[in-house]
Amino acid sequence: MAFAMKDLFARPRELPAREAYALWAESYPARPHNPVMAAEQSIVAPLLCSAGAQAALDLGTGSGRNLPFLRAGARLAVGLDFSMAMLDRRDDGWPRVCGDARCLPFSDARFELISSSLMAGDVNHLDEWLREIARVLKPAGQLVYSDFHPTWAAERWRRTFRGADGALHAIGYFPHSIADHLAALAAAGLVVRAIREPRARIAPLRRFGLSAGRRSDAPVVVVFHAVKPRRRR
């Protein structure tokens, strides 16, 4: 997400996620490039590095910024994304798959760790997405994923970027409440270990085109850490 003060007053054309990422891929960096992503990574990266998984999967991998953290302990780290344009920007030699995160092309109980950063907003129905994650996750396996905080919907924040032609675009997304996430996680048989809600100062956020009303700071992301219970004997 790239924002500018003038974007507050612009009326960007809203694009579906697949079309937006095809336009954005050329300039999308493999690092946190705004305060929202930095806040998210500050929570997610330590969890991924300490997981000690042998086989890991990153959903909505995009430019692959989570993969270095997965590789800290994994012999296998796979990145999946529905945008071939984003995947084509990666040249790291690790497996990459173009596919739908709601219908994963992997066998049951294949991975010990699954991550997903800020992709949940691209999914309308969390329950089908999390059930599919639970299917490919091994018993005792861990899930670490993030979503845009409900603050985004309350404050009417937008995800915007500029294409190669300089035009301002917005990416549509599906807002989810924390209760929505908890219900879908429970329905998938996943047990929540922790929920984190990192905040970012409004002053730098305003520089990136976000307005948060009277709040001096605000939770910008929600991070879920969940596990798949072991089978009972």
Give the pLDDT of residue 91.
66
Spell out the residues 6+ positions from residue 186 whose beta carbon is closer than 8 angstroms to its own. none
Give the pLDDT of residue 45.
96
CA 113, 136, 189, 182 dihedral sign is positive
% of the chain beyond a pLDDT of 90: 55
Neighbours of 29 (CB within 10 A): 11
The pLDDT of 18-43, averaged and rounded, is 88
Amino acid identity of 73?
Answer: G
58-67, 111-120, 157-166, 188-197: the lowest-pLDDT one: 157-166
Domains of the chain: which residue ranges? 5-227
pLDDT, tens digit (0-9, with 9 covering 90-100), for 95-152:
889 999 999 999 999 999 999 999 999 999 999 999 999 999 999 999 999 999 999 9
CB 190 within 8 A of CB 130: yes
The CATH architecture to which 5-227 belongs is 3-Layer(aba) Sandwich (3.40)
Angle CA(114)–CA(20)–CA(160) in degrees, nearest 5? 95
pTM of the entire structure?
A: 0.88
Q: At what angle do helices 126-136 and 178-187 cross, to 10 degrees?
A: 40
